[in-house]
Amino acid sequence: MSASAFTQLFIFFLILTFVVRCWLSIRQIRHIRAHQEKVPEQFVGSISLASHQKAAAYTVAKTRFSLVSLIVETAVLLGFTLFGGLEKLSDWVLGISGNDMIYQIALIALASIIVGAIDLPFDYWQQFVLEEKFGFNKMTPPLFVGDIVKSAILGVIIGLPVIWVLLTVMGKAGTWWWLYAWILWTIFQYLMLFLYPTFIAPLFNKFTPLQDEQLRLKIEDLMKRVGFQSKGLFVMDGSKRSAHGNAYFTGFGAAKRVVFFDTLIEKLSPEEIEAVLAHELGHFRLKHVMKRMLATSILSLVFLAILGYLKNQSWFYAGLGVDSIPAGGSDAVALILFALTLPIFTFFLSPLMAISSRKHEFEADAFSAKYTQADDLVHALVKMYQDNASTLTPDPLHSAFYDSHPPASQRINHLLGHS
């Protein structure tokens, strides 16, 4: 393939993805507005018109915000590629670094910092304007800055060594480097499953053992019936950042933990909490977690193999605006270009991933209905949809691309069929 042909292919997918994403967002806004004056019949009596309209306004606001973010993301992508931004950054870094590895690590780090700095105002606006407007923000500016600092420190401690190992493998492992890199990446991901609950998550949130004795006994009985062993039951102080609530389990093997947001504990009854947890445990018992990890692992292998091919093709660099590559520096440039452009080439695979995810959600709902009362999960879902201002009337096509969970009406109909 020639560089000009690849440029044309890139521009085609960039425009196509941009137009389709805009079209989907406009569909979502129009569909929600068309149904905001009437609560769906299925939810009459359980969700007020005011709550339904709040959810509609919240979803429309988020969708509009996503359109602005999309425009900026597209501009940044063009700036790094066809407008020569990455090549200029590469030349500048090369001028102040005298070592190939230092140059490559610095280039990747600076590109990440630039993208993060561009995203920062949007993250701030989303948290302190959009979430604040609808009553969900509980975060303070010092906490916001603290999270950024902690994330940056973790990036240095964990991210830089990972980049160094990857670049070393790319440069010295020969033709099959991508296979060795995949093996190391897979090991790293499994290692993080052990380290995250114990060492990383507590840096951002406080986890305290569940104190409610009645609830604890109910949950322990459920886990015994389901066949799930956990290192502990914890309540997370999610309310210091957001009014949204959830429950999840994290970790792997002996490091598994069951975690409840404190906001969830406050808003749901013990029976409803049990039903929500049964849903989450269903993902574990039905091996959804392992299936997702396997799928992610396979995709990682495929993408690394593609990168292994592309990094040796001059048209890949030239076609994306990088004509001058320093000796020994192509690996870092290839990684950055691949990471920047992959989303536009894979966007239309989103519905396929969503189909699998939704299937798992239905199966986990059915699992919960088997071990708890289906009505309890229905009531919990209604409360969570209301408290989180989740729209009850998403556009079907927009939902097919973006939503990993089925629409509320479908989930509840499915659940009532198991009552």
pLDDT in tens, 17-59: 999 999 999 999 999 999 999 998 888 888 899 999 999 999 9
Instruction: Say what the pLDDT of residue 341 is.
Output: 96
Please report, in range form, the residues annotated as the binding site for Zn(2+). Answer: 279, 283, 361
Interval 360-399: pLDDT, tens? 999 999 999 999 888 899 988 888 888 888 888 999 999 9
Q: Compute the distance between CA of residue 384 and CA of residue 268 in angstroms, rounded to an integer.
A: 9
Strand order in the sheet with 257-261: 207-209, 233-236, 257-261, 247-250
Q: Which positions make up the binding site?
A: 279, 283, 361
Contacts 24+ apart (CB under 8 A), 164-167: 164/101, 164/105, 166/335, 167/101, 167/104, 167/105, 167/331, 167/332, 167/335
- Residue 257 φ/ψ, nearest 5 degrees: -130, 145
pLDDT at 254 over 60: no
pLDDT digits (tens, 9 = 90+) for 218-243: 888 888 888 877 777 888 888 888 77
State the pLDDT confidence band at 315, using cuts at 50, 70 and 90.
Answer: very high
CB 302 within 8 A of CB 325: no
403 is catalytic: no
pLDDT digits (tens, 9 = 90+) for 73-87: 999 999 999 999 999
C-alpha to C-alpha distances, 2 to 78, 316, 336, nearest whole angstrom:
19, 9, 20
- 254-287 burial, b if ≥16 CB within 10 A, otherwise e? eebbbbbbbbbbebbebbbbbbbbbbbbbbbbee
| Cβ contact 32:367 at 8 Å | no
- Is 90 exceeded by the pLDDT of residue 166? yes
The residue annotated as part of the active site, out of 272, 331, 365, 376, is 365
- Phi, psi of 247, rounded to the nearest 5 degrees: -140, 150
* Residues 274-297 pLDDT 10s: 998 899 888 888 989 889 889 999
Q: What is the pLDDT of residue 59?
A: 95
Mean pLDDT, the chain, whole residue set: 89
In the chain, pLDDT over 90 holds for what percent of residues? 54
H or E element: which one contains 235? strand 233-236
**What single DSSP character describes residue 129?**
I
> In terms of Cα–Cα distance, which of 317, 225, 218, 316 is closest to 274?
218
Contact (CB, 8 A) for 328 and 171: yes
> Which residue blocks in 253-407 are alpha helix, DSSP H?
262-267, 270-285, 288-310, 314-318, 330-346, 350-371, 374-387, 396-402
- The whole-number average pLDDT for the span 129-150 is 91
Active site residue 274: no
- Of the candidates 73, 272, 274, 280, the residue annotated as catalytic is 280
Whole-structure pTM value? 0.87
